[in-house]
Structure 1
Amino acid sequence: MVYPDNFENKIGFDRIRSQVKALCVTQGAVDKLFEAAFSDDYESVVARLGQVFEMRTVLMMDNGLPEGSFVDMDAFLKKGAVEGSFLDVGELAALRKGLAMVHGLVAFFNARTDEQYPQLRALCSGVDGFPEIINHIDSIVDKFGKVRDNASAELFSLRRTIRDRESQVSRRLQQIMGQAQASGIVDGDVSVSIREGRAVIPVAAANKKKIKGLIHDESATGKTVYIEPIEVVELNNELKALEYEERREVVRILTRFTDAIRPDLPRIRESGDFLTTMDFIRAKARFALANDCTLPIVENRSSIRLIRARHTLLAQTLRREGKEIVPLDLTLTDDKHILVISGPNAGGKSVCLKTVGLLQYMLQKGFLVSVSENSEMGIFKDIFIDIGDEQSIENDLSTYSSHLLNMKNILRSAGERSLILIDEFGTGTEPIIGGAIAEALLEKFEQRHCFGVITTHYSNLKYYASNARGIQNGAMTFDVQNIRPLFRLEMGKPGSSFAVEIARKIGLPEEIIRSASEKAGSDHINIERQLREIARDRRYWEQKRDKIRQAEKRVDELSEKYQSELETLKAERSRLLREAKAEARQITAEANKQIENTIRVIRESQADKEKTLEVRRKMEEFKETLEQDSAGDEAIDRKIEQIRRREQRRAERRNRKPETGSATPAPPPEKPRIVEPGVKVRIKGQDAVGEVVSVSGKRATVGFGQILTTLDAERLEPISNAEYKKAVRNERSAPVPVTNYSTAERRLQFTQQIDVRGMRVSEALQATQDFVDEAIMLGFSEIRILHGKGTGALKEEIRNYLRAVDLVKSARDEHEELGGAGITVVKLDL
């Protein structure tokens, strides 16, 4: 059940359907589009989604799909089913195109493996392309849509006779015209004309009695008449009779053909229905490609886990304006099946609600949806919505009465397989009783285990949600510093309306704001303040967490790099030591022989014993030196073990959960508020720090080490002296490669496009990061990243990174003729 009747208009599905309608070729496909029903049958929904997803893959990846015509065959096939009727030549040509397209589609999908397109292959099962009928039509009608001369022996004979008669008429007319021109009756520049299917001669009105014949027409001025000479009247009459006979023969041929295929018409109509079905699926697949829609994980139960969900229509609008939509992450499970969203006005609460409703409805109507592929969506039996102002003068209903009537109808049918969407729950009447009724309804929805997304400003609903077992709060985030909504949903906590901050931003007098705060009471103001502080602290720690994650990532990469280098060094050192030891043993053996020989000689010659001892001592020292080289292996082993232990401790710290009730973190060091000479600054979105030397208007000259750079002051972020010293220490401790870098020369050599196709995701992200950093440093305001289309995973990771860079103004697909979704065009705010 879908409630109310205008549900599709409320969530915008009517506009989605209009766009898909424009992509349909046949009227039969349009009829199927409007007949497609909301389904709660899991197998049916999965089959329809699979068909569209497979067709999307074909359009995107496979170039072999037939490019023939999608034809509506139903109308003329119904006509052909009547005894005594026949299909005309145009209908025969359309039937041939349709059957050829059916035959091509069936052959295309049957030629693929079962694993490639199983749903579409199943759709082709039992469908006949009727190649024998196509051949029969080809024997009757040529490629120009004309009946062939050899369609029958009688037609061939008739047309040959007609051509002979036409030649006779033409020759006789030319003779008569030549005589008339020689006599001056007809002008020398005129030629034979055709009037009412008869060959005639244009004659001046003054000379019309000089040529015997029938007048068929005259010019608009009356100065020229068109005469059929009496000598060719009989020939023309015979020619006309032959043409009538030719037409009757064509009708006989078409009637025989129609009679021949009439027994097969039911099966041909099935093939025609298959063709319009494929046209319908193709239209939905083309819409999915144009709007980045895909197939999520569909489960045979009631649940929702949306990852990077986008409202399709809103995404289209923002794309036309060159803006990026903020994706939605939302989860409803058996444990937490109702979400109560609060937050500021115009912060995106209603968009979240409509996004859930639109995507769930599209899914159960057989449309792919704008989510990440790893999203999970279940099947609901009912979808109810209460949104907007529905007061009715005719029915004597106020806005609040209409809301209560909707609640009554929803309560009548809602159950554990129902999805309820309510916007501004409880509003429209006196707040206390309105909030109380809304809380009672929310309690009933929870008891019935309904799934739902509800938006509200009422504090009592936030409190109830925080204590209820099956309900959770959600907040639309808000930038407290800049007083602007961020349009991002955070699960698990209520949101503040930020009414005071918004009122102050738009310029409401301060005394009005103070008076309102006093009237609202300290308890309410304190609660709002606590919610704002929670939002502020959460945002602060999110930024902190992101920085820590990035730092740990860099540390892990360096650690992996050093470990790899140490392993390589160890292997190389071991190899060299083995070779050296082998050589040393050989040298030692030879030396020992020599020494023994020397000692033997000395003894035999009764030489000094001290001399002998000295020779032996030097030899032992040499051997010890060789043995000490092996100690290098042990030192390398100890270094590698230290790195492994350090990584293990870091992993344990990451996995260790913070203790609840921990002390509030100390506030960050106080920072300067404005950019002025002597202030320490950082370029926004980068790690480089420096000191402001001078400020001229909106431009500032900053010293970064030994380099002076002039750039917009808006790009600079003041920092404390402690942060500056820490950043400088980190820069000094890091290994600095010695380079001879010329900015002007590098700018001339810089290419504004990078190709990351074929790279692993980590490699592509690192290359993109370096590319973007260099473009920012060199002052390029637009760059292009060539990542290809593929599965879209690499593009999504690159877009995620670009969203985290403050100086990235926008990231969009390239124009279709220049590469489309395979290229991301990045505009930098420089």
Structure 2
Amino acid sequence: MIERVSRVLEYEKMKEQLLPFAGSSLGKDKVKKLMPSFSFEEIQEAHAHTAEAAKVLRLKGNVPLGGLRDIRGSIKRAEIGGQLNADELLDTASTIYGSRMFKSFVEQMVEDEIELSILPGLMSEMPALLDLQREINEAVDENGGILDSASTQLRTIRQQIRSHESTVRSRLENITRSSSGKKMLSDAIVTIRNDRYVIPVKAEYRGHFGGIVHDQSASGATLFVEPESVVQANNQLREARTKEKYEIEKILQQLSASVSEYTEELSMVVRTMTEVDFMFAKASYAKSIRATEPTLNENSRIEMKGARHPLIPDNEIVPIDVELGGDFSSLVITGPNTGGKTVTLKTVGLLTLMAQSGLQIPCEEGSTAAVFQKIFADIGDEQSIEQSLSTFSSHMTNIVQIMEDVDFQSLVLFDELGAGTDPTEGAALAISILDHVYNVGAKVIATTHYSELKGYAYDREGVMNASVEFNVETLRPTYRLLIGVPGRSNAFAISSRLGLKESIIEEAKNQISTETNKVENMISSLEESRKKAEEEMEAAAALREEAEQLHQDLSQKMEEWEDQKDRLLQSAEDKAAGYVRKAREEAESIISDLREMQKNNPAIKEHELIEAKKKLDEAEPDFAEKQKKKKPKKKKPQIDTLEPGDEVKVESFNQKGTIVDKANENEYTVQLGVMKMKVKKDDLLYISRPKPVETKPMAMVRGRSGHVKTELDLRGERYENAMMEVEKYLDEAVLAGYHQVSIIHGKGTGALRKGVEELLKKHRNVSETRPGTQGEGGSGVTIAKLK
């Protein structure tokens, strides 16, 4: 049943979206085998893996997962004593290297005090296998060739091969350069036939050179001859090459034996890195569809806020809010065709399957997903033409199976329940089926055309009506899901808008029952009330926003006024103090003159002069004391909890920043310009919180990642552009905090490599450079260590 449900809900198509985010064939294989789980503990663990990978991507931008290969077949062959070829050995070394690079990456994050709960444990159990990687890389080059250094014997044999080749080519080139040779040869070149060096001789000079004819041209005018003078040297060359082949086989066998000693460890590396690749594939996919981690529960409660179907483009989808399992366990969605009822069913079903697969779901933060033990779906595009079943028979065959298997831990999705037969009987059957599923305790969402089911939701406790909004003015659905409001047929309104005579419409209204009219009038009244409530709520929200803005502006102006008042007061006090100092200086001068006069007039007493000076001192205002008594400015009030995105002021730096996340109970990570740093909670002053923006449909734009990669690929770039790219990239890498980066320039003529090396040696932020190793790209890559 789950396979059929997965097909109906397009689970496999969702996996096709996920597949490209896996970086290796190992991860892709695991994506292909992904299926929903029904174990709450397993699902929680899977979500924890996805959440941790998402956290690493958010903080680091990318992860080093290159070099991973599917070497499971090679491991098995080595285990039973089989010989691996050079490419298989190279893949083994590459996988070991890739696992070691990722392990170092995780260890560095731990050193940087990034809180991780899963990856450090995985890496601690994974062996490094550095000796095996080094042994393979010392014998096999990056193109899968065996290096001379693989063994002393191989080096000797290859020296002999080069010597014999040189002898043969030298003798043949002497022939091609001679005047007689030019006359007798079709072309002055040395070529190879049957792995032996030959020259192209005109047919009429066949006997001149002797030796062996190995081939002839299509016309027969040219013979490819191995002259007698080089037959012996060619024989020696062929013998040396045979020895080389045997020696290479011997080396490959030795390396395969080394691999066989680590088959268990290699299997662990493969398992661990497969899980890591799968983790980051899920996290990258979640980022691409703007998904969030749902809160999981086992009590069958669903609350999806702003849910979006991942297979529908952003510029077409309208987010919906769906809840189930709280105040009601059955949701009946009514309304016309093409209104989005089936999309709602598929969205809830697919997002539930994704949540039970450990995937984050495209909803707003705070959404809730339930873990069901059984999920059933009967959706209208599944009728069996091969079995010649009608639409009704096809639906009923599926529903019969559902009724036998459904229980209280089930989610059931019915599309157009009871359709395809007599409306009266179909509606009655639909009500009976819904009653049965409700009594069993399952959670159900059903779509229908039948007006009888609109009243059903009002008569049953635990059942709720819903509809997809339809705009009569534009004659198009808005695709908004309205819970609590049943759908109207809109047939009369649509007909009127299209120009049908009112007399015909009035006559049609008289043909339907009074009860139906009452229901339609009630629905119309509900819709008008809902629209009025929404308008009033929007108006109230606008007023509140305006009041908050006004309060903020007034507060700011008050602060500016207080600052201006303080500045003016300080200026006045400074001027007053200046006047007093000036008066005092003049008084001191006068007293000095009086003292001179006292010498000539003893009637002026000394204590009178001292008293006058004391009064002058007391007349000087004490502004410093007044400043002490000033009341300090009040800080803006703190809020209980800071959240990511909040604008704050770091008081110790007197600088504004933005909260990134909560480091621990007493610290937050704050973005200050291009820097991120941990700041104590007491050092943060809350300023504002960005208001949530309603998500609107928008086209997905694919562009360059906002994160800096650890490598820059210059292949195909012109020299001048490449140099500019390197300059720009190094600045971005330094700001990103990288200690080492790779510049890929390829081998080519060497001009680009030389230019890159000269630039790196002169660059202010580069401390050291070196060519790439065999596992890093060889001479086609330059590694730069940053300061």
Give the alignment's TM-score, normalised by structure 2: 0.70
**What is the aligned partner in structure 2 of residue 88 from structure 1?**
85
In the TM superposition, what whole-angstrom CA distance separates every residue of 1:629-677 from its partner, at most 9, and x where no partner exists? xxxxxxxxxxxxxxxxxxxxxxxxxxxxxxxxxxxxxxxxxxxxxxxxx
SS at match of 1:411: helix
| Secondary structure at the counterpart of residue 118 of structure 1 | coil
Matched position secondary structure for 2:174: helix
1:455 paired residue number = 447
Change (3 A) 1:795 1:417: farther
1:800 aligned onto 2:694: yes
Q: Distance in 2 between matches of 1:515 and 1:214?
A: 107
Q: Which residue of 1 aligns with 2:47?
A: 49
Q: CA deviation at 1:334?
A: 3.8
Structure 1 Cα separation of the partners of residues 571 and 225 of structure 2: 117
Task: Give 1:305 deviation, angstroms.
Answer: 0.7
For 1:91-102, what aligned pairs fall within 5 Å after superposition? Answer: 91-102=88-99
Partner of 1:693: none
- The residue correspondences of 1:730-749 to structure 2 (distance < 5 A) are none
Q: CA deviation at 1:187?
A: 4.3
Distance 2:62 2:506 in 1: 71
User: Of the candidates 323, 337, 340, which is equivalent to residue 348 of structure 1?
Assistant: 340
CA distance 1:249–1:579, shift in 2 (3 Å): closer
Give the deviation of 1:29 after TM superposition.
Answer: 3.0
Q: Deviations over 1:225-244 (max 9, x none)?
A: 11101121121112111111
Give the conservation status (yes or no) of the 8 Å contact 2:485–2:523.
no
- The amino acid across from 1:400 in the alignment is F
Q: 2:703 aligns with which of 797, 801, 816?
A: 816
2:177 is aligned with 1:290: no
Q: Is contact 2:296–2:369 with CA below 8 Å preserved after alignment? A: yes
Deviation at 1:307, TM superposition (A): 0.7
| 1:12-40, Cα deviation, whole Å (9 max, x unpaired) | 22211223334445443333223222212
Query: 2:264 and 2:705 mapped to 1: Cα distance?
Result: 47
Question: Which residue of structure 2 lines up, in the alignment, with residue 375 of structure 1?
Answer: 367
Contact 1:51 1:281 in 2 (8 A): yes
CA distance in 2, matches of 1:167, 1:394: 73
Indicate whether 1:331 and 2:218 are aligned.
no
C-alpha separation in 2, matches of 1:571 and 1:193: 92
**Offset at residue 359 of structure 1 (A):** 0.5
**Are 2:458 and 1:441 equivalent residues in the alignment?**
no
Q: Is the 8 A contact 1:47 1:119 kept in 2?
A: no
User: 1: CA distance between counterparts of 2:117 and 2:370?
Assistant: 22
In the alignment, what sits opposite 2:469? Answer: 477
The aligned amino acid for 2:377 is: I
SS at match of 2:337: coil
Compute the displacement of 1:354 (Å).
0.9
Q: Aligned partners of 1:760 and 1:795: how far apart in 2? A: 6
SS at match of 1:313: coil
Residue 6 (structure 2) aligns with = 8
> How big is the shift at 1:554?
0.9
Report the counterpart of residue 771 of structure 1 in structure 2.
Answer: none
Once the two structures are TM-superposed, the CA of residue 7 in structure 1 deviates from its matched residue by 1.6
* Displacement of 1:184: 5.8
**Counterpart AA for 2:76:** K
Contact 2:332–2:465 (CA under 8 A) maintained in structure 1: yes
TM-superposed deviation, 1:372:
1.1
Q: Which residue of 2 aligns with 1:129?
A: 128
- Once the two structures are overlaid, the 10-residue window that deviates more, 197-206 or 56-65, is 56-65
* Equivalent position SS for 2:377: strand
Letter in 1 for 2:265: R
The residue type equivalent to 2:459 in the other structure is: N
Amino acid at match of 1:256: Q
Evaluate the alpha carbon distance shift between residue 508 and residue 17 of structure 1 in structure 2; reply closer, same or farther with a 3 A threshold: farther
Whole-angstrom distance in 1 between the partners of 2:147 and 2:568: 89
Asked if structure 1 preserves the Cα contact closer than 8 Å seen for 2:415 and 2:448, the reply is yes
Match of 1:429, SS?
Answer: coil
Change (3 A) 1:539 1:237: same
Residue of structure 2 aligned with 1:72, choices 70, 73, 92: 70
The separation in 2 between residues aligned to 1:575 and 1:426, in whole angstroms, is: 80
Q: Secondary structure at the match of 2:41?
A: helix
Equivalent in the alignment of 1:174 = 173
SS at 1:307 equivalent: strand
Partner residue in 1 for 2:253: 255
Checking the alignment, whether the CA contact within 8 Å between 1:342 and 1:455 is kept in structure 2 is: yes
Q: Deviations over 1:412-460 (max 9, x none)?
A: 2222221111111222222222212221222222222211211123233
Query: What is the Cα deviation at residue 580 of structure 1?
Result: 10
- Paired with 1:173 and 1:573, the residues of 2 have a C-alpha distance of 102
Shift of 1:327: 0.7
5+ residue gaps in structure 2? 581-643, 649-672, 677-687, 708-787
* Count of equivalent residues: 605
**1:107 maps onto 2:101 in alignment:** no
**1:13 is aligned with what amino acid?**
Y
Contact kept? 2:467, 2:483, Cα under 8 Å: yes
CA distance in 1, matches of 2:135, 2:64: 22
CA distance in 2, matches of 1:276, 1:550: 51
- The one of 484, 508, 517 equivalent to 2:509 is 517
Matches within 5 A, 1:368-767: 368-392=360-384, 395=387, 397-507=389-499, 510=502, 512-562=504-554, 565=557, 760=647
Change (3 A) 1:812 1:539: same
SS, match of residue 262 in structure 2: helix
Q: Which residue in 2 is equivalent to 1:309?
A: 307
Find the partner of 1:225 among 223, 226, 238.
223
Native 8 Å contact 1:292 1:370 kept in 2: yes
Q: Please tell me the root mean square deviation across aligned C-alpha atoms, in Å.
A: 3.5
Once the 2 structures are TM-superposed, how far is the Cα of residue 115 of structure 1 from its aligned partner? 5.4
* Cα distance in 2 between the residues matched to 1:566 and 1:178: 99
CA contact (8 A) 1:480 1:536 kept: no
Distance in 1 separating the partners of 2:138 and 2:367? 54
SS of residue paired to 2:437: helix
Relative to structure 1, the CA distance from residue 121 to residue 456 in structure 2 (aligned partners, 3 Å threshold; closer, same or farther) is: farther
How far apart are 1:464 and its partner, in Å? 2.4
1:246 paired to 2:244: yes
Moved more, 128-137 or 489-498: 489-498
Deviations 1:122-146 (A, max 9, x none): 4434122311110111221133432
Residues 307 and 362, structure 2, Cα contact 8 Å, conserved in 1: yes
1:63–1:387 CA distance, 2 compared to 1 (3 A): closer
Q: Could you say which residue in structure 2 is the equivalent of 1:827? A: none
Contact 2:329 2:444 in 1 (8 A): yes
- 1:469 is aligned with what amino acid? E
Q: Secondary structure at the match of 1:65?
A: coil
Q: Is the 8 A contact 1:64 1:108 kept in 2?
A: no
Contact 1:140 1:148 in 2 (8 A): yes
1:173 aligned counterpart, secondary structure:
helix
Residue type of the alignment partner of 1:415? D
1:78 Cα shift? 1.9
Distance (whole Å) between structure 1 residues aligned to residue 85 and residue 28 of structure 2: 25
Measure how far apart 1:576 and its partner are.
8.7
The CA deviation string for residues 265-284 of structure 1, in whole angstroms up to 9 with x for no partner, is 13212312333333333333
2:35 alignment partner in structure 1: 37
Range moving further from structure 2, 423-432 or 291-300 = 291-300
- Alpha-carbon distance, 1:310 to partner: 0.3
Q: Distance in 1 between matches of 2:204 and 2:391?
A: 86
Change (3 A) 1:10 1:504: farther
Whole-Å separation in 1 of the counterparts to 2:689 and 2:215: 72
Cα 1:328–1:233 change in 2 (3 A) is same
Structure 2 residue aligned with 1:272: 270
CA–CA distance in 2 between the matches of 1:451 and 1:351? 18
2:186 and 2:200 in contact (8 A); partners too = no
One-letter identity of the residue aligned with 1:243: R
Q: Equivalents in 1 of 2:20, 2:562: separation in Å?
A: 67
1:482 and 1:237 map into 2 onto residues whose CA distance is 89
- In structure 2, the partner of 1:150 is 149
Contact 1:335 1:469 in 2 (8 A): no
Within the candidate set 183, 186, 189, 2:184 is matched to 186
Letter of the aligned partner of 1:387 in structure 2?
Answer: I
TM-superposed deviation, 1:797: 5.4
Quote the offset at 1:215 in angstroms.
0.5
